[in-house]
Amino acid sequence: MALFHQVCLFRCIKPKTKPKMSEVEKKECPVKPKPCCVCLDEKKLRDECLLFNGQEGGKCNELIGKYKECMKGFGFETR
C-alpha cells in the first residue's frame, strides 16, 4: 500500500517523508488527514522556539516557515 493511502486510511499516521500531494492524489483520497496529525516534529520545534524566544525577535521564522511548508504539502493553507 502506498504511503499516501496509509495516511488517508489511518488519518493520524505520520509519514517518514512528507509527500507533496498532487491534485490527482488529493482527489483519490476521500478523507484528508487531520491537521493535528501531520507535521508533528515541525510543530514541536516551532512551538518550543516560540515558547522560549517569542515571535517578535524573528528567531523562529525559519522553523515557522518549515512548518507552513509541511502543512502545505498535506493540502492545508496557513497564514
* Residue 36, annotated as binding a ligand: yes
Q: Where are the domains of the chain?
A: 3-73
* Residue 70, annotated as binding a ligand: no
Helices (H) and strands (E) in the chain, counts: 4, 0
- What's the pLDDT tens digit per position in 17-63? 555 555 555 555 567 899 999 999 999 999 999 999 998 889 999 99
- Distances in Å between the alpha carbon of 19 and those of 5, 11, 15, 39, 71? 11, 14, 8, 11, 10
- Distances in Å between the alpha carbon of 46 and those of 15, 31, 34, 69, 79? 19, 27, 19, 13, 15
Give Cα 13 distance to the centre of its chain: 12
Predicted model pTM: 0.61
